[in-house]
């Protein structure tokens, strides 16, 4: 006997869904800290604004004004020239003056070698200027002054003094192309001129031209007759001292002389016509 049984699945019964009501968020809880921070930020902004305003107010107050300007004595630049070049005038704020800028403006003038600018509270500015001293005139494409340190510093203008020994043989392109070598040669020129100034019988006034040759050295030409006096390079003091002893006697024979060569250690060579 067959047992026929019927099978079935139970249907799943959906659970009862209960709708839960959400409570509204308390936004004030989040806004309170923001309001506090906003208040702090506003207070800080106001404080910064007040400080900045105080700074601007103090900055506009000049406690130390320039009343006295001491300027050192100079040969070529007058007090008025120095003040005009520096741009300094009485009544300026002493603390705000840029001393470095004042010095740089002054050194742009070719006559000025060194500048010292100092302030002394409450109201004094001191300007000390050291001028260049011309030693010779260097003839290149133009005429230039040569100072005692061997610096070619200024082209000659109308009214500049010409009573200096003239140096020839230098070229502007060589000064630019070989500045170290040219500077050394110009310093040797200054050394030779200083020795000529110091020696007795043979004085600088007897020299009309000092010629420099890069390969040989220096040759002097006398003011009378343009007699060449070969000096060469180095040991100038000993050479000029030997020459000074017999200079007057040699000048008496000038018409018969072709050149004088001092470029030896212990003798003088005289070439006669």
Domain limits, the chain: 68-131, 134-272
Lowest average pLDDT, out of 1-5, 19-23, 74-78, goes to: 1-5
In this prediction the pTM is 0.72
pLDDT in tens, 138-164: 999 899 999 999 999 999 999 999 989
- For residue 51, report the phi and psi dihedrals to the nearest 5 degrees: -65, -40
Rg of the Cα trace of the chain? 44
Residues 123-133 have a mean pLDDT of: 96
CATH of domain 68-131: 3.10.20.310
Picking from 202, 245, 244, the residue whose alpha carbon sits closest to that of residue 223 is 202
What's the average model confidence in pLDDT over 19-47?
62
Q: What is the Cα–Cα distance from 136 to 146, expressed in whole angstroms?
A: 5
Whether 268 contacts 223, CB under 8 Å: no
**Degrees to nearest 5, angle at CA 70 with 100 and 92:** 60
Task: List all residues 6 or more positions away from 212 whose beta carbon is below 8 Å from its beta carbon.
Answer: 167, 168, 169, 170, 185, 189, 218
Nearest Cα to Cα of residue 237 among 269, 270, 191: 191
Question: What is the distance between the alpha carbons of residues 134 and 146, in angstroms, rounded to a whole number?
Answer: 6
Q: What is the mean pLDDT of the chain?
A: 84
Q: By mean pLDDT, which of 32-41, 67-76, 152-161, 206-215 is the weakest? A: 32-41
Bridge-based pairing state of the strands 143-147 and 134-139: antiparallel
pLDDT given for residue 1 in this prediction: 44
How far apart are alpha carbons 199 and 110 in whole angstroms? 31
Q: What is the pLDDT of residues 200-214, one digit of tens each?
A: 566 777 888 999 999
pLDDT of residue 6: 44
pLDDT at 2: 45
Range 134-272 has CATH code 3.40.50.11690: yes
Highest mean pLDDT among 31-40, 123-132, 232-241 belongs to 123-132
pLDDT for res 190:
96
Q: Which residue has the tokens 């043989």?
A: 169
């Amino acid at each position: 006997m067959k047992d026929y049984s019927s099978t079935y699945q139970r249907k799943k019964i959906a659970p009862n869904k209960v709708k839960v009501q959400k409570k509204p968020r308390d936004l004030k809880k989040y806004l309170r800290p923001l309001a506090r921070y906003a208040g702090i930020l506003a207070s800080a902004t106001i404080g910064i604004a007040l400080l900045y305003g105080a700074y601007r107010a103090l900055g506009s107050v000049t406690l130390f004004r320039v009343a006295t300007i001491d300027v050192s004595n100079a040969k070529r630049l007058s007090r008025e020239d120095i003040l005009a070049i520096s741009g300094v005038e009485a009544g300026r704020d002493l603390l705000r003056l840029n001393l470095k800028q004042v010095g740089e403006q002054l050194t742009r003038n070719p006559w000025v070698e060194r500048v010292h600018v100092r302030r002394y509270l409450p109201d004094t500015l001191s300007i000390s200027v050291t001028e260049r001293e011309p030693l010779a005139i260097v003839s290149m494409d133009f005429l230039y002054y040569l100072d005692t340190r061997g610096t070619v510093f200024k082209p000659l203008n109308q009214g500049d003094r010409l009573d200096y020994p003239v140096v020839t043989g230098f070229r502007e392109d060589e000064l630019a192309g070989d500045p170290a070598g040219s500077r050394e040669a110009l310093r040797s020129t200054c050394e030779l001129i200083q020795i000529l100034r110091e020696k007795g019988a043979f004085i600088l006034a007897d020299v009309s031209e000092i010629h420099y040759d890069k390969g040989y050295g220096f040759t002097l030409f006398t003011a009378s007759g343009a007699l060449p006096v070969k000096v060469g390079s180095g040991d100038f003091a000993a050479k000029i001292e030997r020459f000074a002893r017999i200079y007057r006697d040699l000048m008496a024979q000038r018409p018969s002389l072709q050149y004088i060569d001092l470029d030896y250690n212990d003798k003088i060579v005289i070439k006669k016509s």
